[in-house]
Amino acid sequence: MSRRSIFTFASTSVVKQSSGGLFGCFLGGSSSQLPPLDVPLPGITLPPPLPDFVEPSKTKITTLPNGIKIASVSSPIPAASVGLYIDCGSIYETSASSGTSHLLERMAFKSTTNRSHLRLVREVEAIGGNVFASASREQMSYTYDALKFYAPEIVEVLIDSVKNPAFLEWEVKEQLQKIKSEISEVSGDPHGLLMEALHSAGYSGALAKPLIASESAVNRLDVTILEEFVANPDFASNAVDLAAREFHEVATPGKVTQEQLDRAKEATKSSVLMDFESRMVASEDIGRQVLTYGERKSIEYFLKTVEEITLNDISSTAKKIISSPLTLASWGDVIHVPNYESVSRKFHSASGPAWLVPKFQVAALHWPTGHQLE
């Protein structure tokens, strides 16, 4: 078969013959030419075009007779993220139950009175699900991510895990050992240590309670304390110079330009919108907003609020921060950290009047290695 006959055989009904062409000199005679891309193909039905704007789904909130609120948002994707959010955290702990929230987070999705931990894991695996639990100072969340088709199974597992935990003694002891390992890891994380120290020094009362269990708390916690808690119905120098200077500049009118503010606004809005690409983040946002506000404020409300921020708002907020009692925390070789009077003078000179001098509260943790957290 000649090259010309092969070429002619390969042409289809949508390819029309034309004389000459780019390959005419090589193939001899006519060549085949595809129709322009903006010409519809014969026999092909095009789908309807997508609208330029699709209104986001509204958050529907339903309150059950027992007071539980159900918030939901429709989504065209086949997967769903279902979360159960509870007003429960370290702020509800007592001195005797300190560290219980940390342990309760570790005990999530373990054995219940209706199913063993192995059975629960197998059920989650069978539908390709993903479970997650987290505890904060004021709230605790249980989240299940899977296909919408399995929504009844998702809800049933969540309710069973929250309402009917078995708290088997061997499972509790196993998780306590894992918490001890976490404490060892956190002791090498300056950021985590500083955040805990800032809370203990900057707040008094419930918010000052640690989110991460201490070693003494781990040695004291057991099944009885865990059950009682669930049954409760209330279920360095240059850096300082730089910080003082930055707060002073932000608090001084004219130091922050409109261009800098606009750039910060766009960065904030972009970060939030990208976070909401995750179903888990969207589910968590719904749960926490309903617990906090009793409703879910739309993303448009947040974007509008960010857009309305002015230079005066930035300046007044910075002044408020400077005039408020400040908390200082340091970690590592603290011998090089300026003393508190020196830090106070730097902020004093940056903030102006004497009544703006911040009061420093101190948190100190001593470690066997000789390091100190202040």
Confidence (pLDDT) at 263: 85
List of E strands, the chain: 16-18, 31-33, 60-63, 69-72, 79-86, 130-135, 140-147, 326-328, 360-362, 365-366, 372-373
pLDDT tens digits, residue range 227-276?
A: 888 876 544 444 444 455 555 555 566 667 888 888 888 888 888 888 87
Confidence (pLDDT) at 149: 87
Alpha-carbon separation of residue 175 from 172, 227, 299 (angstroms): 5, 15, 38
Confidence (pLDDT) at 130: 92
Distance CA 206, CA 95 (A): 11
Signed CA dihedral, 22, 26, 31, 33: sign only: negative
- Tokens at 58, concatenated: 């509204």
CA dihedral 353, 354, 356, 362 (to 10 degrees): 150
pTM: 0.56
DSSP for 212-257, please give it: SPPHHHHHH--HHHHHHHHHSTT--HHHHHHHHHHHHHHHSTTSS-
Distance CA 233, CA 286 (A): 23
- Tokens at 11, concatenated: 């042409």
pLDDT tens digits, residue range 103-115?
A: 999 999 999 999 9
Confidence (pLDDT) at 217: 85
Confidence (pLDDT) at 348: 58
Confidence (pLDDT) at 24: 52
Confidence (pLDDT) at 32: 60
Q: What backbone phi and psi angles, to 5 degrees, belong to 80? A: -135, 145
- Least Cα distance to 204 among 86, 325, 355, 373 occurs for 325
Confidence (pLDDT) at 97: 84
Confidence (pLDDT) at 301: 87
Residues in the chain: 374
Confidence (pLDDT) at 171: 93
- Tokens at 214, concatenated: 């201490």
Amino acid letter for position 364: A
10 Å Cβ neighbour count for 144?
27
* Full set of structural domains in the chain with CATH: 3-33 (no CATH), 60-231 (3.30.830.10), 237-373 (3.30.830.10)
The tens-digit pLDDT sequence of the chain (374 residues) is 444 444 444 444 444 444 455 555 555 555 567 778 888 788 888 788 878 877 777 888 887 777 778 888 887 788 888 888 888 888 888 888 888 889 999 999 999 999 999 999 999 999 999 999 998 888 888 999 999 888 888 888 988 998 889 999 999 999 999 998 888 887 777 777 788 887 777 777 777 788 888 888 888 898 998 888 887 654 444 444 445 555 555 556 666 788 888 888 888 888 888 887 787 788 888 888 888 888 888 888 888 888 888 888 877 877 777 676 666 777 666 676 777 677 666 665 544 443 333 443 444 443 333 333 33
Identify the bridge partners of residue 85 per DSSP, sorted by sequence position: 141
Distance CA 154, CA 127 (A): 10
